[in-house]
Structure 1
């Protein structure tokens, strides 16, 4: 690092979501670095930010964020900043007038078709309806090759068309490959080893993460407003990679969401945390926060999610032509020794929260190695 200068930061971090906050904490705590973290929003936490609404109910303004991971390292790291409330998310899909478990499991099939199959029999059922696909390329291929055309049409096609504005046959296989199919009665949405919610919410966890005295936070700020004014040694950028390079190769496609929040004067609005609507209405799902947070309250707050073509970038659109476009920006990013690109938007990938944390921790190890090499060079130069 350069000679200490009280007006100079070692790192300027753009974005106070998971990627930026984890790196700020690690750099400050482990290396003693002076970090300035800026965000154009009026709050920390990125899309995982939560707050109390006018009714006093803890909500997620940017839609439900359910924490789950198989990584002990990620879970142990975040446990430094929060206690946890065990929570296993359950989702129902509104199909043919019934609310049925999703991912598709034994109960889904039996209730939908009025059958009484066992786990062994439902496996045979899937095999009997599955369509042979020579090479799985698209999201449609993934589903019809596992559970056949009827279940695909009832549970996946409409939801995917709403969510992405494209037919599953036009989307990469990764979109629907994320959702498993089960032959037992396991109705949990996730099967990860660690499934829990921050006991006092995500925002409190981020506040703890960024509480180190070496970390300064600047909100309501576009980094371009201050990048030439505040001196720093290295930038960590977690925003959209195409915007960083002024869209020189064109705009990377994203899907956005519009969130409509409601509070109802009743104990509960629906039977589980989330209900999907693959075939009806303009929204894809309704989530009820009290299930997710465990809060007790006489009223309840829910959020409707409406997919949109324009708005804040939430989901990179996984198509081959978009991957090719990103490669041009990726090459530019790799050539920049003065900037480190990390996170969903900066690497144009759909990551779960734990994957972003893991990526940030890996990035920190690379930055630490860079730091130690620079310190070693400085010591050698002084000895000479």
Structure 2
């Protein structure tokens, strides 16, 4: 059987492109080296019967109605607003830093206007914001930088914030109100029956075939196909011609507790203590009712599965060389976090995949612009 597209990777990028192409009559083969679909969003039940995220917590949020409506074809949602606390100076306080964080930590009774002045009095002037350290000290000063950001960042990235691009910490806001939500996106929800079930529905199409436990390189020349869509590491695709692009990985250590709840919020960050960065309790994320609960502690490592592209000027220069190769490679499209070496959220990967589909359709139709067909919302 000849396929129109061979798609490498059954995570968000590969699965969304596969579904879109299948919906317009293309024959698609999706291959993944893992024994399951859903990529890092894969969830499953542990031995205690608790639904866990095998590769760490995944929380869906987006400001894009198009992306949310698209995924709503394949899942109903459980409304969920994520909350995180940080263990600092022997207390659990809200993160991102807000009015309650400062009042609790310092024993103050500031209002929002006074907190703005308080931040300003501690902020350090930075002529040019270039690093993650610059971002924080220019907003809230060095003391809060040391308490909340420096230790966590050094554990997470294996680098001091002064050596990391400003984009890393720019993702974490500072607030002057009492908003304790970690995200403020318009759409914040979790798939009602889990991420894996949603992926099963995305890939449930007669034009889609799936091969798991499969190395794409071993089957590429054996399976006839017209084009390749690659969502794996771009440096791997080109045989590490310019060297390996660096990533941070994670060692997940799960623990089941014989109690209904183990901590007061879904995630507790540990910026200054212990070798792990945070502990997540899954039942908050999934809404599951169970007499036991499972948590996971995350230990950042330099080796292992690639999770986080390291945003530094040197790595950006290496990626530029790989991107030039990718742009010159006929019949291959690169999509997703690993293939484009970007620190994307889930919704951004979905958006990138939808954009790729539009480009492929526009090229085929000779049109300048093709819109994704109207979608229907899931009702079950």
TM-score, normalising length: structure 1: 0.95
Q: Deviations over 1:48-93 (max 9, x none)?
A: 0101111111100100000000000000000000000000000000
State the Cα distance separating 1:370 from its structure 2 match.
Answer: 2.0
Where do residues 163-312 of structure 1 align in structure 2 (5 Å cutoff)?
A: 163-312=156-305
State the Cα distance separating 1:336 from its structure 2 match.
Answer: 1.2
Which secondary structure does the structure 2 equivalent of 1:255 belong to?
strand
Return the alpha-carbon distance in structure 1 between the equivalents of residues 161 and 85 of structure 2: 21
Which residue of structure 2 lines up, in the alignment, with residue 100 of structure 1?
93
State the Cα distance separating 1:369 from its structure 2 match.
Answer: 1.3
Which residue of structure 1 lines up, in the alignment, with residue 377 of structure 2?
none
Return the alpha-carbon distance in structure 2 between the equivalents of residues 371 and 100 of structure 1: 54
State the Cα distance separating 1:359 from its structure 2 match.
Answer: 0.4
Return the alpha-carbon distance in structure 2 between the equivalents of residues 224 and 164 of structure 1: 30
Q: Given the alignment of the two structures, is residue 16 of structure 1 paired with residue 10 of structure 2, yes or no?
A: yes
Where do residues 339-358 of structure 1 align in structure 2 (5 Å cutoff)?
A: 339-358=332-351
4+ long deviations beyond 3 Å = none
Which residue of structure 2 lines up, in the alignment, with residue 121 of structure 1?
114
List alignment gaps of at least 5 residues for structure 2: 368-380
Which residue of structure 1 lines up, in the alignment, with residue 75 of structure 2?
82
Q: Deviations over 1:117-160 (max 9, x none)?
A: 00110010000000000000000000000010010000000000
Where do residues 345-384 of structure 1 align in structure 2 (5 Å cutoff)?
A: 345-373=338-366
State the Cα distance separating 1:219 from its structure 2 match.
Answer: 0.2
Return the alpha-carbon distance in structure 2 between the equivalents of residues 292 and 234 of structure 1: 38
Return the alpha-carbon distance in structure 2 between the equivalents of residues 151 and 237 of structure 1: 42
Which secondary structure does the structure 2 equivalent of 1:365 belong to?
helix
Return the alpha-carbon distance in structure 2 between the equivalents of residues 367 and 53 of structure 1: 40
Which residue of structure 2 lines up, in the alignment, with residue 33 of structure 1?
26
State the Cα distance separating 1:225 from its structure 2 match.
Answer: 1.2
List alignment gaps of at least 5 residues for structure 1: 1-6, 375-384
State the Cα distance separating 1:269 from its structure 2 match.
Answer: 0.5
Q: Deviations over 1:315-372 (max 9, x none)?
A: 0000001000000000000011210000000000000000000000000000111222
Which residue of structure 2 lines up, in the alignment, with residue 143 of structure 1?
136
Structure number with greater Rg is 1
Which secondary structure does the structure 2 equivalent of 1:356 belong to?
helix
Return the alpha-carbon distance in structure 1 between the equivalents of residues 352 and 77 of structure 2: 22
Number of equivalent positions: 367
Return the alpha-carbon distance in structure 2 between the equivalents of residues 59 and 26 of structure 1: 28
Which secondary structure does the structure 2 equivalent of 1:318 belong to?
coil
Which residue of structure 2 lines up, in the alignment, with residue 4 of structure 1?
none
Which secondary structure does the structure 1 equivalent of 2:323 belong to?
helix
Q: Deviations over 1:213-245 (max 9, x none)?
A: 000000000001111111000000000000000
TM-score, normalising length: structure 2: 0.96
Return the alpha-carbon distance in structure 2 between the equivalents of residues 85 and 371 of structure 1: 38
Return the alpha-carbon distance in structure 1 between the equivalents of residues 357 and 42 of structure 2: 23
Q: Given the alignment of the two structures, is residue 329 of structure 1 paired with residue 317 of structure 2, yes or no?
A: no
Return the alpha-carbon distance in structure 1 between the equivalents of residues 360 and 187 of structure 2: 28
Which secondary structure does the structure 1 equivalent of 2:141 belong to?
helix
